[in-house]
Amino acid sequence: MKAPTFSRPHKIHFSECDPAGIVFYPQYFVLFNDLIEAWIDDLLPEGYHGVIGARRIGMPTVRLEVDFKAISKMGDRVTLSLDVQRLGNASLVLAWACTGADGVVRMSALQTLVTTSLDTHKAIPMPDDLRGAIELAMARAHTG
């Protein structure tokens, strides 16, 4: 099995759970947005804030397909991972997974992001430095 492009461990917190004691499903979207932010922080010196804030380049989600496969409970230790499935001119398709310490995938998704101008809200080509950093991350993950 190939390694994901980016991953990190996470402990499920009380604040992420519903009264049944399991992850309230919208919290997964927050967790994965945080993962994308950490990934971009890792890829570029100015990080996610520099792309969004200084450069005024947005990366909104335009498509999301999700499967909830098993529950995650408060205190569970999981791995959140993303893998680049497709890198287009102005878009990026990511595969997400939340996997328990037992190896069971709890939740998976396919997300399409588009690079946009935050001034016009129109799609724009992905910046060359971001594209290059993503290509390098993909090569490292898929060969190492």
CATH number at residue 88: 3.10.129.10
Strand partners, 93: 86, 112
- Residue span of the structural domain in which 67 resides: 6-143
Asked whether the whole model's pTM tops 0.75, one would answer: yes
| DSSP-based helix, strand, coil % in the chain, nearest 5 | 30, 40, 30
Containing 32, the helix (H) or strand (E) segment is: helix 26-43
C-beta atoms surrounding 98 within 10 Å: 26
Q: Write the CB contacts of 73 (distance below 8 Å, at least 6 apart in sequence).
A: 12, 17, 21, 22, 23
* Count of structural domains within the chain: 1
Residue-level pLDDT, tens digit, the chain, 144 residues: 578 999 999 999 999 999 999 999 999 999 999 999 999 999 999 999 999 999 999 999 999 999 999 999 999 999 999 999 999 999 999 999 999 999 999 999 999 999 999 999 999 999 999 999 999 999 999 886
Is residue 1 included in any domain, yes or no?
no
What is the greatest pairwise CA distance in the chain? 46
